[in-house]
Amino acid sequence: MLLTTFFVKDSLVKTNVAEAQNNLITFNSVVTNQVAPFITNIENEYTLKYVEDIVKQNSLEYSARTLLVGLDGRVLVDSFDTLGDKTIDTLETRLALSGNRSTNIYVHDGDYLIYAAVPIIDRDNVVGATFMSVEANTIFEEIDRFMEKLFIIFSAAILISIFISVFFADIISKPVEKLTDSVKIITQGKYDTKVEILGSDEIGELSKAFNIMTTKLYQVEERRKKFVSNVSHELRTPMTSMKIVSDTLLSSPSWDEKVYREFMSDINTEIDRLNKIIDSLLYLVRVEKDELELDYSMTYVNYLLEWVIKTLTPIALKKNIDLSLTSSNKIQIQLDQEKMQQCLLNIIGNAVKYTPDDGRVSVELDENKDHILIKVIDTGIGIPEKDLPFIFDRFYRVDEARARKTGGTGLGLAIAQQIVQLHQGTISVTSELGVGTQVVITLPKK
């Protein structure tokens, strides 16, 4: 708006002044034409009087001052009667005496004056010049008045737009403020915070995404809390047993050696259990690291399974379990041997562990176009349907009491699942209580 004001004023001044200058030249020419025939005879008293009348009448009409100048620059007629017989020498008169029309604007003591000079031509000869000056202050006063009005209008427009901007900024910033408040609350650890979803614009979308994020955060936080409490609980249980046993031993000074041995062996079992939990936990933490890189190598899955079965055979033999492997082909894929061995040990180990004496565990290796399939089928105790969704959770065991007897940590399946997922594979379990369980692992060939 300021720039507009500046340019408007500039062009207004230019056009108005140019118009006034043109008018003055035109009027000057009219006067000049009237007086031209008489200039050569101006020495004559009556002629001079006649010419003076013409000049004064016209000047009055146009509120201009008019000077008739001879070829030598001497003033012949002055409509103000003050310069009689004096010579004037302005740029405009000089130009006029050499046959050119000219006009200009000047400032004298704060007043604007427009000059215009026209040559007086009598029978093709320049015989003098008509010099006119007129005050131009009104032009500038009018433009100033116009600019004042423009200024008032612009100021009003600016005020209105400020008002509207503040109003809309408030409407736009309110939801952002709400969001910011929620973020602040979340940083204090209150992960169940939700923001109100306003509208379907960008802010609405952002709020939706934000709520999804807080839900995720909340779940992660809950998992973390549960994990910490599980770990503490799992570590405390063997500790408590050891404490009871050692307190009992200390309470009486004279136990015979047999009792000592028995109690010490209990403590030893608990220490083994603690070690197993800690080892499994450390292993799980290692495979859960985001940046974990798998150590891939081309491996025959058949041999890998054979190795796992060989490792588990002594336990199976003890329980008289028929542990067998069937495979249609030799299948070779890229995998991390050490981790996949651990995974299969956990799965097939479970099958052996949770199958009663004289049962059967069969491992089948198969393939389709893109995947290999490893099925572990047992005739064991099975898993109740209500427990199935949780068996991959850390520390989850179907039967806590029995788990203590069998020494399970509840981490085996969590580790196995993590390893399969690192290989971009899937793992699923179906089971029927008292009949048996089937675990299926799929791994991509590429």
Ligand X SMILES: Nc1ncnc2c1ncn2[C@@H]1O[C@H](COP(=O)(O)OP(=O)(O)OP(=O)(O)O)[C@@H](O)[C@H]1O
Interface positions with Mg ion (CB under 5 A) = 350, 412
Q: Does 403 bind ligand X (CB under 6 A)?
A: yes
Query: Of 29, 57, 19, 43, nearest to 129 (Cα)?
Result: 29
Question: DSSP readout, 388-410?
Answer: GGGTTSTT--S-HHHHHHHT--S
Choosing among ligand X, Mg ion, none, which partner's interface includes residue 128 (Cβ < 5 to 8 Å by kind)?
A: none
Helix extents (H) in 199-333? 202-251, 257-288, 301-318
Q: Does 380 bind ligand X (CB under 6 A)?
A: yes
At 254, the amino acid letter reads S
Among 68, 354, 372, 442, binds ligand X (CB under 6 A): 354
Contact 360, 250 (CB under 8 A): no
Q: How far apart are CA 441 and CA 367, in angstroms?
A: 11
At 92, the amino acid letter reads E
Residue 249 or 377 having the CB closest to ligand X: 377
Residue 42 or 348 having the CB closest to Mg ion: 348
Contact 120, 68 (CB under 8 A): yes
Q: Does 66 bind ligand X (CB under 6 A)?
A: no
Q: Which residues contact 212 (CB under 8 A, 6 or more apart)?
A: none
Among 90, 103, 409, 418, binds ligand X (CB under 6 A): 409
Residue 199 or 384 having the CB closest to ligand X: 384
Triad 238, 240, 245: Cα angle to 5°: 95
Among 133, 182, 437, 442, binds ligand X (CB under 6 A): 437
Among 312, 374, 413, 427, binds ligand X (CB under 6 A): 413
**In angstroms, what is the minimal distance from the CB of 320 to Mg ion?**
20
Q: Does 312 bind ligand X (CB under 6 A)?
A: no
Among 28, 58, 193, 346, binds ligand X (CB under 6 A): 346
Pairing of strands 296-300, 75-78: unpaired
**In angstroms, what is the minimal distance from the CB of 392 to Mg ion?**
11
**Run of H or E including 378:** strand 371-378
**In angstroms, what is the minimal distance from the CB of 362 to Mg ion?**
18
Interface pattern 267-296 for ligand X (x via CB under 6 A): -------------x----------------
Choosing among ligand X, Mg ion, none, which partner's interface includes residue 380 (Cβ < 5 to 8 Å by kind)?
A: ligand X
Position of minimal CB gap to Mg ion: 412
Among 134, 308, 391, 443, binds ligand X (CB under 6 A): 391
**Residue 395 phi, psi dihedral angles, 5° rounding:** 70, 5
Choosing among ligand X, Mg ion, none, which partner's interface includes residue 42 (Cβ < 5 to 8 Å by kind)?
A: none
**In angstroms, what is the minimal distance from the CB of 197 to Mg ion?**
44
Query: Of 84, 77, 24, nearest to 55 (Cα)?
Result: 77
Q: How far apart are CA 419 and CA 415, in angstroms?
A: 6
Q: Which residues contact 261 (CB under 8 A, 6 or more apart)?
A: none
- CA 401, 405, 406, 410 torsion: positive or negative? positive
**In angstroms, what is the minimal distance from the CB of 220 to ligand X?**
21
Choosing among ligand X, Mg ion, none, which partner's interface includes residue 409 (Cβ < 5 to 8 Å by kind)?
A: ligand X
Among 408, 418, 423, 441, binds ligand X (CB under 6 A): 408
Choosing among Mg ion, ligand X, none, which partner's interface includes residue 443 (Cβ < 5 to 8 Å by kind)?
A: none
Query: Of 320, 316, 326, 426, nearest to 376 (Cα)?
Result: 326
Residue 245 or 403 having the CB closest to ligand X: 403
**In angstroms, what is the minimal distance from the CB of 413 to Mg ion?**
6
Three-class secondary structure of residue 219 per DSSP: helix
Choosing among ligand X, Mg ion, none, which partner's interface includes residue 351 (Cβ < 5 to 8 Å by kind)?
A: ligand X
How many residues bind to ligand X according to rule CB under 6 A?
24
Contact 363, 376 (CB under 8 A): yes
- What is the rounded (10 degree) CA torsion for 383, 384, 389, 390? -70
Q: Does 350 bind ligand X (CB under 6 A)?
A: yes
Triad 280, 282, 284: Cα angle to 5°: 65
Choosing among Mg ion, ligand X, none, which partner's interface includes residue 39 (Cβ < 5 to 8 Å by kind)?
A: none
Q: Does 308 bind ligand X (CB under 6 A)?
A: no
Residue 119 or 408 having the CB closest to ligand X: 408
Three-class secondary structure of residue 189 per DSSP: coil
Q: What is the contact surface with ligand X in residues (CB under 6 A)?
A: 280, 346, 350-351, 354, 378, 380-383, 391, 396-399, 403, 408-414, 437
